[in-house]
Amino acid sequence: MINALDFPEGGKLLRTALPAARCIARLKQRLKPRGVPTIYVNDNYGQWRSDFTQVVARCARTGSLGAPLVNLLRPGDDDFFVLKPERSGFRDTPLCMLLEELGAKTLILTGIALDVCVLATATDADMHGFKLHVPSDCVASETPGRRTASLKLLRDSLQADTRPSRAITLR
């Protein structure tokens, strides 16, 4: 969700990403006091010498279409981050090692774009044996059709729970 949206369809994605960002912020606020860690898995934008702080600053700067997303979801000092060079958060990143260190068995995936990065990450997470929640109100795609098709694929093929975020409970 930390994204400058500096591509031709960025404005279209922002319209669906803002409501999702609000839901993600509420979910994070609800789960953080219960000890659920937040991991930001973000594009490195081909900047091989960047770090996450630089990515956040770039996306938050004045004039960035994605600045409202950063303002809603600005990472905290106790959050984790992984920069990724490809669509999946698992490909060529230390994400799997971090999740193992945290003892994770279930993942709650949120973000943009559902039909690209979230779907690729969910597919890899499933192959690693994680139980998946992809709350339908915490993801966005450029078009409603792509969103609907992706949610159906996640439910049917990966058995992901795609109910809205308010349905997520911890045991």
pLDDT of 19 reads 98
pLDDT of 50 reads 77
Residue 77 near residue 53, CB atoms below 8 Å: no
Mean model confidence pLDDT for the chain: 95
Confidence of residue 49 (pLDDT cuts 50, 70, 90): confident
- According to DSSP, the residues that pair with 137 across neighbouring strands are none
Strands annotated E in 2-91: 39-43, 80-84
Q: What would the DSSP string read from start to end of 67-106?
A: HHHHHHHPPPTT-EEEEESSSSSSTTSSHHHHHHHHT--E
Please check the confidence at residue 78 and state whether its pLDDT lies above 80: yes
**Nearest-CA neighbor of 71 among 1, 151, 154?**
1
pLDDT of 43 reads 86
- According to DSSP, the residues that pair with 108 across neighbouring strands are 133
